[in-house]
Structure 1
Amino acid sequence: MVNVYDQANALESALRESEEFQQMKELYSKVNDNAESKQLFDDFRDIQMTLQQKQMQGEELLEEDIQKAQNSAQEIENDENIKGLMEAEQKMSQLIQDLNRVIMKPIEELYEINNQ
């Protein structure tokens, strides 16, 4: 019988070695090596986390919060280091979505067979 956790660990290793992850890692280093990029990126992430926490707690987002987030997003779009990292994140996210579809296939097929 196959040990699913062994397979998951092998997949984790493969992801670490993937071109997508290596590129993301390299671009993340570029952001961290540039003081201005790092500050913009940290500020952006802090704002995102604050907004998520407010939403999860059911707090209303103020116009000020939304404006702050939009301004921060605009600033990071103008930073080539962060822009590259965000593009690499999107590629990695797509890869993970593709893998998730593959992983969920047996369950989807099971329900399809039982619904026919």
Structure 2
Amino acid sequence: MTVNIYDNANEMAKVLKQTEQYLNWESAFDAIQKDDEAKKLFDQFQTVQMSVQQMMQSQQQPSEEQEKEWDTIASEVQKNTLITALLSTEQALNTVLTEINDIVTKPVSEAYSKIRQ
């Protein structure tokens, strides 16, 4: 019997879109897309996140100016209820995705744990 794991993964993606966590995330994401101010701020926030990640990966230190800019954007993000709602729903969705990943990778984890015994 031939197994196409990608068919199962695509089915899982369809099922994920039906979960409460995904639907809540999608609703929060759509709300930001419909609000020009929130969308602009969220785009700035994502740009900052990417910059921070790149700097961390290359082990660079941000300048004082960059830190001030990042702090300002982070402060504005915390005040925006649409963005905080999105971040909250994103966290719930990521929890589900982590749990799914743990289930999918369980055979590999179990194999490695047998080696350590």
Aligned residues: 116
Question: Counterpart of 1:17 in 2: which secondary structure?
Answer: coil
Query: 4+ residue stretches of structure 1 with deviation over 6 A?
Result: none
CA distance in 2 between partners of 1:66 and 1:5 (Å): 42
Q: Residues of 2 paired with 1:65 and 1:7: CA distance?
A: 44
Q: Is the 8 A contact 1:51 1:65 kept in 2?
A: no
Report the equivalent of 2:93.
Answer: 92
Question: 1:110 matched to which residue of 2?
Answer: 111
Identity of matched residues, %: 28
Matched, 1:29 2:30: yes
Contact 1:31 1:38 in 2 (8 A): yes
The answer for unaligned runs of 5 or more in structure 2 is none
CA RMSD of aligned residues (A): 1.5
Equivalent residue for 1:15? 16
Segments of structure 1 that go 5 or more residues without pairing to the other structure are none
The C-alpha deviation readout for 1:46-101, integer Å capped at 9, x for no partner, is 11112222333343221222221122111111011111000000001111111111
State the alpha-carbon separation in 2 of the partners of residues 59 and 103 from structure 1. Answer: 35
Summarize the alignment of residues 2-81 of structure 1 with structure 2, pairs less than 5 Å apart.
Answer: 2-81=3-82
Aligned AA (1:13): K
